Amino acid sequence: MQVSDFIFQNFDGRSDTVCRVRILVNNNYDVCAVLTDVSNHIITASVTNRVEYIYETLVHDGFIPENAEIYEHYEDKYKAFELVLVSLQEPTEWRKADRKCFCKKYDIDYQKFFMPTTKNTQIMHKLSVLKRKINPYMYYPDSSDIERVKRQFEIDENFVPKSELKKLVEEGANEQKILSLIKKDLSIIAEQYSISSDEYICFSEFPIGDMGRVDFALFSGRSRMCVTLIEVKGADFPFIVNHGGYKKPASKIESAKMQVMNRNGYIYRNYPCFCKEMHEIRLRVESGESCYNSFLGPAGLLHVDPNKDIHIRYAIIGGRTVNDLEESSKRHQYEILQHPPVYLETWDSWLAKLSRK
């Protein structure tokens, strides 16, 4: 059952942290804390980038024991719900969690618990008060926004509408044609995977050591940088195929999965050097240099700490949906079983989440 629901807040002058915290306990005295990201409502560091600090504070203040389960929860278009494994007060792994199993374990109502925060008037009122506390002048024009607006105009000049990409997908375009279109406007990638709508750096043909080049890479986040590596396949094959009487992802998806696993192995074998290199590339782009077809978001800078670990995510996009319900279940099962976790999308499901016109 749920025993508390409150807004966690900390303003240390360096990285403001605000999130919704719900603490639950079951009949076996298992305790968990669900950290719901509210950065869509108030501009602060994301839950992902501050999870270790939130966990440490909740333990220190006596809200949860050290062995409590910690879940990250996002209410944006990805609706992520992940169990965060913690060792020595540091997050070590993120695992996609099954919401229904979670609700059963803690004896809570699924619909009520996962009702959007916007429906909770008490929580939304608290967030509104905190917005003004963080920025008392939020409703006044800011001259520092001039460069941001200028950059947004530059991005808009190369805007690729959703209809163009949708047309290619419906025609069953191959990988090269789809890549060619997206490279004209990398804000498409940022729109889908960036933690913030205007703080990001996107790359195409991004090298990962001696493991070749990933189709797209995205740097985003606050405090702790998040690096999302994206592999793209064509729209000229069905996502699920029959193989020996069993339905499984197409060979091109399996091939992309192997690429992800190989690159993940390289990254963690060379993790300190990888982190250092990613931040060096970030600084070069922020200073005006072009690296790997870099595409800088409107904000111009990422407010991240180079001394903190990097959170790495993977995504594969490819193939067409034939049976949405069946394939959604297969993708979900596939994602849960993968290590590292990989977000899978067909071009149909990916386009459905693209909000641009």
Same domain, 16 and 93: yes
In a domain, 226, yes or no: yes
CA 116/CA 112 separation, integer angstroms: 9
Please state which of the ranges 139-148, 149-158, 312-321 shows the lowest mean pLDDT.
139-148
Same domain, 234 and 328: yes
Query: What does the mean pLDDT of the chain come to?
Result: 87
Predicted local confidence at residue 323, as pLDDT: 77
Predicted local confidence at residue 327, as pLDDT: 67
The per-residue pLDDT for range 226-285, each reduced to its tens digit, is 999 999 999 999 988 876 667 788 899 989 989 999 999 999 999 999 999 999 999 999
Nearest to 304 by CA among 230, 196, 229, 226: 226
Joined tokens for residue 14? 């360096």
Joined tokens for residue 49? 């980038």
* Strands 311-317 and 342-345, bridge-based pairing: parallel
Q: Which of 101, 134, 167 is the last residue of a domain?
A: 134
Q: Which of 134, 169, 197 is the last residue of a domain?
A: 134
In a domain, 248, yes or no: yes
The structure's pTM equals: 0.61
Counting residues of the chain whose pLDDT is more than 90, the rounded percentage is: 55
Nearest to 16 by CA among 157, 131, 129, 94: 131
Q: Please state the separation of Cα 229 from the chain's center in Å.
A: 11
**CATH number of the domain to which 215 belongs:** 3.40.91
CA 316/CA 296 separation, integer angstroms: 22
Same domain, 311 and 347: yes
Res. 338: pLDDT tops 80:
no
Mark 194-225 as b/e (b = at least 16 C-beta within 10 Å).
bbbbbbbbbbbebebeeeeebbbbbbbbbbbb
Please state which of the ranges 87-91, 115-119, 200-204, 322-326 shows the lowest mean pLDDT.
322-326
Same domain, 14 and 76: yes
Same domain, 275 and 175: yes
In a domain, 197, yes or no: yes
Same domain, 8 and 49: yes
Nearest to 45 by CA among 9, 93, 95: 9
The set of residues, in sequence order, having a beta carbon less than 8 Å from that of 165 and lying 6+ positions away, is 178, 181, 182, 188, 351, 354
Same domain, 151 and 129: no
Same domain, 306 and 338: yes
Domain with 106, as residue range(s), is 2-134
Same domain, 186 and 241: yes
Q: Which of 134, 153, 174 is the last residue of a domain?
A: 134
Res. 134: pLDDT tops 70:
no
Same domain, 38 and 161: no
Higher pLDDT, 196 or 119: 119
Confidence of residue 301 (pLDDT cuts 50, 70, 90): confident
Kindly list the strands in the beta sheet with 90-96, ordered across the sheet, starting from the edge strand earlier in the chain: 2-10, 17-25, 31-37, 69-73, 81-87, 90-96
In a domain, 139, yes or no: no
Q: Tally Cβ neighbours within 10 Å of residue 169.
A: 20
Same domain, 164 and 107: no
Same domain, 18 and 112: yes
The per-residue pLDDT for range 52-61, each reduced to its tens digit, is 889 999 999 9
Largest CA distance in the chain: 64
CA 308/CA 310 separation, integer angstroms: 7
The shares of helix, strand and coil residues in the chain, as percent rounded to the nearest 5, are 40, 25, 35
Q: Alpha helix locations (H) across 172-297?
A: 175-182, 187-193, 251-269, 271-286
Higher pLDDT, 269 or 151: 269
**Tally of structural domains, the chain:** 2
Averaged pLDDT, 69-81: 89
Higher pLDDT, 170 or 40: 170
In a domain, 87, yes or no: yes
